[in-house]
Homo-oligomer: A and B are copies of this chain.
Amino acid sequence: MARRVAVVAGGHSKFGKRLDATVRELCAEAYKPIYDEGITQDRIDATVLSYAASQFTGQGAGSALIADYLGLQNKPHLRVESACATGTASLRAAYGMIASGLYDVMLVLGVEQMNRVSSATATEYMARAGDMRWEYPFGISFPAFYALMASRYISEYNLPHEVLSMISVKSHHYGAQNPKAHLPKEVSLEEAHNAVPICRPLNLYDCSLITDGAAAVVLVAEERVKEFTDRPMWIKGIGAGASQMMIQDRPSLTSIPGAKQAAKAAYEMAGLKPNDINMAEVHDCFSIAELIAYEDLGFAEPGKGREIVENKENYHDGRIPVNCDGGLKSKGHPLGATGISMTYEILKQMRGEADKPSRQIKDVQYGLVHNVGQSGQFVNIFIYERGF
């Protein structure tokens, strides 16, 4: 019924500890390649800013600031926030505004700057996305939420920690080949398995990074796509799900109910099955989260995700390549930018523009983004289709 929407262009800043730049400058860095492609400000109707946690910088009402700095002063804008799933929540809102006819061309910009405060303060700010009355005051932070899931998974399925480490090894293997990555270095299985504990059973290499960075994509209504590109990536399916606020209320800790709900909705809208997906960008905020994602997305049966890892099916030349850009673990996880960065990576892979042949996935017809907020309270899943 509604008109179709395509991603026609993307941009990405260097991820890292970016004390050389402000939030607005990171956004400009992500927009610049888009501008250089000829998508100048006058061609953009409106923007959505994906910015999760303004407390990191103290700046409120960021969408006006960013729009102003990018020369988009007179274009309608708004900010969306859904914790770590902010990027795809912004895309969901933008999709609606375009498909419904409100706008034809939108710039969706994701950004976060997390390193202007200490890691401890950053961890505390993120913990405030837990329940401020019933979780945060008792000291639970995000490594702890996911450590609970990991403990339960390990106990239910008798999982050796090395399987989680193998996921981190893969992330770093690909991050090392991604010039935008925050921590572009290989790690060995031994290093990953024996690293310093953060929250048992999770160690340093099971945890994603506290990163500064920005990413951007341009969404366009179908009638206008040809003005922008002959290599569009169509939004084929969108699914959103939600889970109980407090982890204690969940029926299970080895799966995220909202992720299964979102996957079902996205596959249904796309008319596709897990088998049809050629690559996925999943939300590996912790190694256990990636393992659980394989199962929630239907790439493996419950408890069998480890087979994907052990058989290296998740590598760029495997059955279901996952996070061949380094993922949140090695590329980095600037909250508001993450979901947009995932989308950007699928666009690049579809276009055959991965930075090196050694991380280029072949013939991507359908790519999937899995973006999770908090410990699963928000989940957005997008399925994209190559349009060329």
Which residues of chain A from 220 to 264 have any CB-CB distance to chain B below 8 Å in the complex? 238, 240-246, 249, 257-258, 261-262
Q: Which of B96, B131, B244, B258 contacts A99 (CB 8 A)?
A: B96
The reply to whether B102 and A96 contact each other, CB–CB distance below 8 Å, is yes
Interface segment, A73-81, A159-167, A316-324? A73-81
Q: Per DSSP, are chain A's interface residues mostly helix, strand or loop, or mixed? A: mixed
Shortest Cβ distance from A45 into B: residue: B240
Given known pairs A95-B100, A99-B2, A99-B96, the reply for A133 and B22 (CB within 8 Å) is: yes
- Tell me the bound Cα distance from A22 to B238 in angstroms: 33
Q: What's the least CB distance linking A75 to chain B, in Å?
A: 6
The reply to whether B97 and A93 contact each other, CB–CB distance below 8 Å, is yes
Does any Cβ of B come within 8 Å of A46's Cβ?
Answer: yes
The reply to whether B83 and A64 contact each other, CB–CB distance below 8 Å, is yes
The reply to whether B74 and A241 contact each other, CB–CB distance below 8 Å, is yes
How many copies of this protein are present in the complex? Answer: 2
Shortest Cβ distance from A126 into B: residue: B60
Given known pairs A99-B96, A102-B95, the reply for A128 and B75 (CB within 8 Å) is: no
Q: Which of B1, B67, B92, B100 contacts A78 (CB 8 A)?
A: B92
Q: What's the least CB distance linking A6 to chain B, in Å?
A: 14
Q: What's the least CB distance linking A385 to chain B, in Å?
A: 17
Q: What's the least CB distance linking A18 to chain B, in Å?
A: 16
The reply to whether B64 and A60 contact each other, CB–CB distance below 8 Å, is no
The reply to whether A128 and B76 contact each other, CB–CB distance below 8 Å, is no
The reply to whether B65 and A131 contact each other, CB–CB distance below 8 Å, is yes
In the bound complex, residues from chain B placing their C-beta under 8 Å from that of A98 are: 96, 100
Does any Cβ of B come within 8 Å of A120's Cβ?
Answer: no
Q: What's the least CB distance linking A5 to chain B, in Å?
A: 9
The reply to whether A74 and B128 contact each other, CB–CB distance below 8 Å, is no
- Tell me the bound Cα distance from A241 to B78 in angstroms: 10
In the bound complex, residues from chain B placing their C-beta under 8 Å from that of A377 are: 61, 64, 68
In the bound complex, residues from chain B placing their C-beta under 8 Å from that of A125 are: 60
- Tell me the bound Cα distance from A268 to B89 in angstroms: 29
In the bound complex, residues from chain B placing their C-beta under 8 Å from that of A387 are: none
Does any Cβ of B come within 8 Å of A302's Cβ?
Answer: no
The reply to whether A55 and B57 contact each other, CB–CB distance below 8 Å, is no
The 9 closest A-B pairs by CB, nearest first: A96-B96, A76-B240, A99-B100, A68-B245, A64-B377, A61-B129, A96-B97, A60-B129, A61-B83
Q: Which residues on A are within 8 Å of B, measured CB to CB?
A: 1-3, 22, 46, 52-55, 57-61, 63-65, 67-69, 72-83, 89, 92-93, 95-102, 125-126, 128-129, 131-133, 238, 240-246, 249, 257-258, 261-262, 373-374, 377-378, 380
- Seed contacts A78-B89, A95-B96, A97-B100; 15 additional CB < 8 Å A-B pairs: A55-B55, A59-B132, A60-B83, A61-B378, A64-B373, A68-B244, A74-B241, A76-B378, A81-B81, A92-B97, A93-B93, A95-B100, A96-B98, A96-B99, A99-B101
